[in-house]
Homo-oligomer: A and B are copies of this chain.
Amino acid sequence: MSKKLTEIAANKSFGGWHKRFKHFSTTLNCEMIFAIYLPPKADTEKVPVLWWLSGLTCTDENFMQKAGAQKTAAELGIAIVCPDTSPRGLNLPGDSDNYDFGVGAGFYLNATREPWKNNYQMYDYITKELPELVRKNFPVNDKESISGHSMGGHGALVIALSSPYRYKSVSAFAPITNPVNSPWGQKAFTGYLGDDRESWNAYDACYLIANGTSKQQLFIDQGQADNFLSAQLKPDALQKACAENQHPLKFRLHAGYDHSYFFIASFIEDHLRYHAQHLKN
């Protein structure tokens, strides 16, 4: 099992470092790239990690270039790791025909159908292989939080809800909250998991809120002018699931904001400070 990391970029940023690495993932059976922001504090001591899961079509680069998170991460002494959003470079049949399935659209699940199941194991990559690799190679401690946007918001919620007590805190921007009832989710789950809808529930935040064991607060920001609001993201379903199951939810709806990184950048500082509070404990 190769643990070798190759540095492909390093940019000094707010006194710390933004770096990109490639490595061969034994979970995904392909070469992957991830990015890490190391705050200045990491020069002298181990720091906690915020995992950021990006949305459809994104790579490790979008958040690092567009969210403007580094200033506050530097101040708070938090490392941020941005994985890619799917396996890459495999050329599986049809893996690049659609923006919302295959390449750039791994949905943070473990596929069970051919031909996807040999590679599309993003849940395990994000929760097992990559954390092990990051802890082995960077000055990070064992405290971690998780966040993400859209498909990555779905990923953050599902991963935190299905791993009670692991993440100190979880937040999301415009997450797909109820993928079993959204076109994006139905397409992805049918392709990766097949027609047995029971098997989809493990990757549905609303289902996990109703049937899981986590009672961890969810912090969610949603733009009211988001084009995907009612058809794909369904914050109402999440709010209903939380209300019916006494699941703690901090939900903010922001008038005028859309689905873009301009929205994320406007509120990322609040999320970083929220995570920092929890990562102290």
Contact = CB atoms under 8 A, between A and B. Distances in A.
B225 A265 contact: no
Interface stretch (A121-129, A189-197, A254-262): A254-262
A162 interface: no
B265 A68 contact: yes
Main secondary structure of the interface of A (DSSP, over half): mixed
A119 interface: no
Contacts of A265: 13-14, 68, 70-71
Interface string A8-26: 0001111100100000000
Given A18-B262, A65-B65, A261-B65, A256 B70 contact: no
A117 interface: no
Nearest to A254: B12
Given A18-B262, A66-B66, A265-B70, A225 B12 contact: yes
Copies per complex of this chain: 2
Contact of A260 (B11, B71, B269): B11
Nearest to A269: B71
Contacts of A261: 65
Nearest to A261: B65
Interface residues of A, number: 24
B71 A14 contact: no
A61 to B, nearest CB: 10
27 contacts: A11-B257, A11-B258, A11-B260, A11-B262, A11-B263, A12-B223, A12-B225, A12-B254, A12-B256, A12-B257, A12-B258, A12-B262, A12-B263, A12-B266, A13-B266, A14-B265, A18-B262, A65-B65, A65-B66, A65-B261, A66-B66, A68-B71, A68-B265, A70-B262, A70-B266, A71-B265, A71-B266
Interface of A: 11-15, 18, 65-66, 68, 70-71, 223, 225, 254, 256-258, 260-263, 265-266, 269
Query: What are the 7 tightest A-B residue pairs by CB atom distance, in nearest-first order?
Result: A68-B68, A11-B262, A12-B256, A13-B262, A12-B257, A14-B266, A65-B66
